[in-house]
Structures are given as structure tokens and as C-alpha cells.
């Protein structure tokens, strides 16, 4: 998507053909900074510190990280080490493991001297596929927004979203935002309620930034506002992203998503989840019991970072010294609260049969690995 009129992806290969560059999301919205990754350690650090974040982008960054690692050492032992290092960066988004498995499959049976080229080729493909998939998700989600627009022609269509499931969280387009961008580009009067998404404020810092750069009308709201808006008829639909969807359609996403799903259910507001197929984990069924929930450092809750009136970036403490804080980064929304899953193969019911019918090859490969929970 565009930043000041210029098209960017969130991650790309630099002009030298080997360095990986990406937008450093820890500086947004106040500074637009691009950083370079030249080795495995850079890629692992970028994922762990959330210079790059969002499930699909974590997958793409891990794929490029494997390519960088192969340049350093293309032996079997190094491949295993790189896999383990990258896998340990963040526990919840399954796109990370999916991408690492794809990379290993692409290089493992090749002679060492062919591994670097094969690794870069597969990493590029993974990034390109993400863009194609998200475009398809957008087309499928657009049909939902168009249906709402037909019911209230010319009136504002209010979409609520949580966290950042925008182009910054993917390679391009975004998942939840893809349909929004397409609706806006078609001239539909779409407006987005942007949950700020404490503690890291991915909504206020990233979603608002990218929507603003594309000219999409939006309003940032404190996280606890969604229920009020829904009960007053001010939300037509919610669309969120996800870090992992189970075989039965449970949805793991940024902390606070579950509360929005509950409010949506109580108010009859359609609650959609947009996802690329690499986000489906057919090896797990019960999201609450089986998905590891990342717990991050207390400083993310205990402090706020922002820009002062004279342009300095400052971090301040907002809790009393000594008060313990908890920082669960994700929660699980049970499938029964999900109106539909917007995927590249259509809008699916959040059920085991619907997911298995739409992605039979993924069920098959999970079975081959001896881990299918899809039945
Ligand atoms: O902790 P983050 O910022 O990586 O969490 C991101 C989210 O929860 C997104 O909503 C999710 O990854 C979907 S991104 C298309």
C-alpha cells in the first residue's frame, strides 16, 4: 500500500539481492524508519522485539530469516539451529512455524551449494503468496461490505477492527483491512472504528497510520468503547485478524478480541475474522486448551510511549511503582461467537467441516505429519 504516494510492502529484498529490509514498526506512527537484516540474528531479533509483527508478516520474516541463515551456513546442523532460533521468537502465531516448515521442505533435500538460492526463492514466494492471498480475502470480504451498503445506500458503513490486521501486519493489503481498502477504493462510504489495542497500541499507532495514509475515514477509540458503539447501532460489522485458527474454528487473536466478540454477539453485530490459510492450525482443536498464549514484559503495560509537543519521543510510567501487572498478549474467541471466517477461498462457517472442506490439502499434510486434528 502507499506511504506518502509511494508503494511499499512491509518487507522486501534490498537492491543488493540478499539483504532483507522492512519497515520498523516500533517507530510508527511518529517516525518512518526502514531497517536492514543481514543475518539470522537480525531476523530473530526483529520478530522478538516486534520491529516486524502480525502473524503473516512474522511468517514472511521467518522465511527470509531462514534464507539469511543459509547464507551464513548451509549445513544441516545450521538449518536446524536457525529453525529452532526463529521458532522460539514468538509462540502464538502459527504462521511462524508454517513458514519455517515450508523453508525446510524447500531446501532440505538439496545439495548445500543449491540451498541459498532455493531458500531465497521460497522466501520470496511466501511473501508474494501472502499478497495474492490477502487480495483474495479482500475480494471476499468486499462482498460483505457491499451487501451492507445495499441495505443502507449512501449511508456510512461502520466497521470495527481490533489490533493491526492491516498491510503492516502482512506483506501487503492486510487481512481485516483488505476489504476495507477495496470498499474505500470503490467509493463506498466506509468508516473504521479503530480499537487503540492496549498495551502496545497497534490500533492507535499502526492501523490508524495506515488507514490515514490511504485516506480511509477512521476514528481511534479506547478499547472499552466497542460495546457502547455496538449497543447504539454504530457498528455494522466487526472484522479482525487472527494469529491462529483451530480445526474447529476457534480464533486466537490480540488480547481483547474475545470481549469484542461477546459484545457483538449480544448486539447482533456480525463478527468476522479475516485470515490467510497458513493461519489455520489443523493440529489443534480446542483453542482455549491448546494454543500457547504469549505473555510479554510488564513494561508494555506499565508505561506509555508517545511524542511530546516539541517532537521528542518519551516513555512515561503510568502505574504506581511496585504494582504488579499482567501482560497476556492474546486471547481465544470460541467458534460459536464467530459469524464467519473470511479466507482466500471464500467466507466460511467457523466449523470443522467447513474448514476441512475448503482446505483439504492442509488437513492432508497435517495428517501426513501425524498431527491432524481435523478428523
Ligand atoms: O502482537 P502482534 O502485534 O503481532 O499481534 C497481531 C495481531 O494480533 C493481529 O491481529 C493478527 O496477527 C492478525 S494480522 C493480519
Q: Is residue 368 very low, low, confident or very high in pLDDT (cuts 50, 70, 90)?
A: confident
At 52-61, the pLDDT tens digits run 999 999 999 9
Per-residue pLDDT, 350: 98
| Active-site amino acid positions | 243
Q: Say if residue 371's pLDDT is above 90.
A: no
Are 119 and 161 in the same domain?
Answer: no
CATH of the domain at 264: 3.40.50.10470
Residue 247 and residue 283 share a domain: yes
The pLDDT score that the predictor gives to residue 369 is 80
240 Cα: distance to centroid of ligand 1 (angstroms)? 9
Closest-lying ligand 1 atom to the alpha carbon of residue 275: 15
Output the pLDDT for position 298.
97
Residue 227 and residue 239 share a domain: yes
| 329 Cα nearest atom in ligand 1 | 1
pLDDT value at 375 more than 70 = no
Q: What is the pLDDT of residues 183-223, one digit of tens each?
A: 999 999 999 999 999 999 999 999 999 999 999 999 999 99
Q: Are residues 312 and 181 in the same domain?
A: yes
Q: Do 109 and 177 reside in the same domain of the chain?
A: no
pLDDT value of residue 148: 98
Q: How high is the mean pLDDT of the chain?
A: 97
- pLDDT score at 8: 96
pLDDT reported for residue 373:
60
Query: Could you list the residue range(s) of the whole structural domain that residue 122 is in?
Result: 2-129
Kindly give the distance from the C-alpha atom of residue 252 to the centroid of ligand 1, in angstroms, as a whole number: 10
Out of 79, 102, 129, pick the residue that ends a domain: 129
Q: Is the pLDDT of residue 365 over 80?
A: yes
Please state the φ and ψ torsions of residue 309, each to the nearest 5 degrees. Answer: -60, -30
Residues 60 and 165 in one domain: no
Residue 145 alpha carbon to ligand 1 centre in Å: 22
Specify whether 62 is located in the same domain as 145: no
Mean pLDDT of 85-92: 98
Can you tell me which atom of ligand 1 is nearest the CA of 175?
A: 15
> Tell me, what's the pLDDT at 2?
86
CA–centroid distance for 196 within its chain: 16
Give the pLDDT of residue 372. Answer: 60
Whichever domain contains 102, its CATH number is 1.20.120.420
Does residue 324 sit in the same domain as residue 183?
Answer: yes
Measured in Å, residue 164 CA sits from the centre of ligand 1 at 6
- Structure confidence by residue, pLDDT tens digits, 281-324: 999 999 999 999 999 999 999 999 999 999 999 999 999 999 99
> Which residue among 103, 129, 155 closes a domain?
129
pTM over 0.95: yes
* Residue 237 shares a structural domain with residue 337: yes
- Give 133-191 pLDDT, tens digit per residue: 999 999 999 999 999 999 999 999 999 999 999 999 999 999 999 999 999 999 999 99
147 shares its domain with 113: no
Q: Which of 286, 278, 275 is nearest to 336 (CA)?
A: 286
| For the chain, percent of residues with pLDDT exceeding 70 | 98
Q: Give the Å distances, CA to CA, from 74 to 81, 108, 354.
A: 11, 10, 40
Overall domain count for the chain = 2
What average pLDDT does this structure show over 74-90? 98
Q: Are residues 221 and 298 in the same domain?
A: yes
Parallel, antiparallel, or unpaired: how do β-strands 280-281 and 251-254 relate? Answer: unpaired
Q: Where does a domain end: 129, 159, 186?
A: 129
CA atoms within 13 A on the CB side of 183: 31
**Ligand 1 mutation target, pool 134, 170, 202, most atoms within 8 A of CB:** 202
Question: Atom 8 (ligand 1): residue with closest C-alpha?
Answer: 254
Q: Which percentage of the chain shows pLDDT scores above 90?
A: 96
Same domain assignment for residues 204 and 330: yes
Amino acid at each position: 500500500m502507499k506511504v506518502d504516494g509511494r508503494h511499499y510492502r512491509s518487507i522486501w529484498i534490498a537492491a543488493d539481492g540478499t539483504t532483507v529490509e522492512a519497515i520498523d514498526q516500533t517507530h510508527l506512527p511518529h517516525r518512518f524508519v526502514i531497517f536492514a537484516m543481514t543475518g539470522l540474528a537480525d531476523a530473530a531479533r526483529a520478530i522478538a522485539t516486534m520491529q516486524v509483527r502480525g502473524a503473516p508478516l512474522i511468517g514472511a520474516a521467518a522465511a527470509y530469516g531462514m534464507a539469511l541463515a543459509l547464507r551464513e551456513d548451509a549445513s544441516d546442523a545450521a538449518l536446524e539451529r536457525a529453525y529452532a532460533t526463529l521458532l522460539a521468537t514468538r509462540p502464538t502465531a502459527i504462521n511462524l512455524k508454517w513458514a519455517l516448515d515450508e523453508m525446510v521442505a524447500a531446501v532440505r533435500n538439496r545439495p548445500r551449494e543449491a540451498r541459498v538460492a532455493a531458500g531465497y526463492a521460497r522466501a520470496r514466494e511466501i511473501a508474494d503468496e501472502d499478497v495474492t492471498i490477502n487480495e483474495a480475502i479482500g475480494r471476499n470480504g468486499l462482498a460483505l461490505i457491499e451487501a451492507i451498503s445495499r441495505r443502507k445506500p449512501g449511508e456510512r458503513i461502520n466497521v470495527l477492527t481490533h489490533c493491526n490486521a492491516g498491510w503492516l501486519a502482512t506483506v501487503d493489503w492486510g487481512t481485516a483491512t483488505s476489504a476495507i481498502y477495496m470498499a474505500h477504493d470503490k467509493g463506498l462510504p466506509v468508516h473504521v472504528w479503530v480499537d487503540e489495542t492496549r498495551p502496545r497500541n497497534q490500533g492507535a499507532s499502526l492501523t490508524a497510520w495506515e488507514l490515514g495514509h490511504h485516506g480511509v475515514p477512521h476514528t481511534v477509540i479506547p478499547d472499552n468503547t466497542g460495546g457502547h458503539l455496538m449497543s447504539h447501532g454504530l457498528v455494522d460489522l466487526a472484522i479482525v485478524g487472527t494469529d491462529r485458527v483451530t480445526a474447529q474454528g476457534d480464533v486466537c487473536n490480540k488480547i481483547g478480541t474475545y470481549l469484542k466478540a461477546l459484545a457483538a454477539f449480544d448486539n447482533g453485530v456480525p463478527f468476522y475474522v479475516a485470515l490467510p490459510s497458513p493461519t489455520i492450525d489443523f493440529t489443534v482443536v480446542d483453542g482455549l486448551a491448546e494454543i500457547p498464549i504469549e505473555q510479554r514484559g510488564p513494561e508494555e503495560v506499565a508505561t506509555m510511549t508517545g511524542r511530546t509537543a516539541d517532537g521528542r519521543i518519551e516513555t512515561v510510567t503510568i502505574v504506581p511503582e511496585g504494582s504488579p501487572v499482567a501482560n497476556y498478549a492474546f486471547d481465544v474467541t470460541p467458534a460459536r461467537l464467530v459469524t464467519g471466517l473470511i479466507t482466500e477461498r471464500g467466507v466460511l462457517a467457523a466449523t470443522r467441516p467447513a474448514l476441512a472442506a475448503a482446505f483439504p490439502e492442509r488437513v492432508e499434510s497435517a495428517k501426513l505429519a501425524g498431527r491432524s486434528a481435523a478428523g
